[in-house]
Amino acid sequence: MYISITGLKSKNFLSKIKFWILAAPAFRAAQKAEGNLFCEVKSVNGYQHTITAWKNRNFMMKYLMCKPHAKAMKNFRSIATGSTYGYESDQIPSWNEALELWQKNYKEY
């Protein structure tokens, strides 16, 4: 399965509002997306993190093109900073494991 760990931080108060307007529909779309096995969100140190698990990378890539996610990504640079880390695995990481992997592999957009 393909695991994606994301951490995004809004740039300021106004961008935080826009972030949530865009992020909520994208998260709901991920939950409903074909091939999605797991989807959770958690706020840590000012970052909004997600862990998603997909049957394989192709299902995740298909989700990336869906309208809510594409709209969020189109606006990303003006409202947030952050990073995504993805990898193949046989198991879904715990939040502690996921955050450690994300921090270790963080490359800011």
Residue 109's pLDDT band, with cuts at 50, 70 and 90, is low
| Encoded tokens for 98 | 């996921």
- Model pLDDT for residues 6-43, shown as the tens digit of each residue: 999 999 999 999 999 999 999 999 999 999 999 999 99
pLDDT of residue 106: 79
Number of residues written out for the chain: 109
- Model pLDDT for residues 39-84, shown as the tens digit of each residue: 999 999 999 999 999 999 999 999 999 999 999 989 888 999 999 9
| Encoded tokens for 43 | 């706020």
Mean pLDDT over residues 98-103, rounded? 96
pLDDT at residue 108 is higher than 80 = no
The full set of domains in the chain, from first to last, is 2-105 (3.30.70.100)
Residue 23's nearest CA partner among 8, 45, 2, 38 is 8
Pairing type for strands 2-10 and 36-44 reads: unpaired
- Residue pair 83/15 in contact (Cβ under 8 Å)? The answer is no
**Separation of alpha carbons 84 and 98, rounded Å:** 11
Mean pLDDT over residues 95-104, rounded? 97
**Separation of alpha carbons 24 and 70, rounded Å:** 13
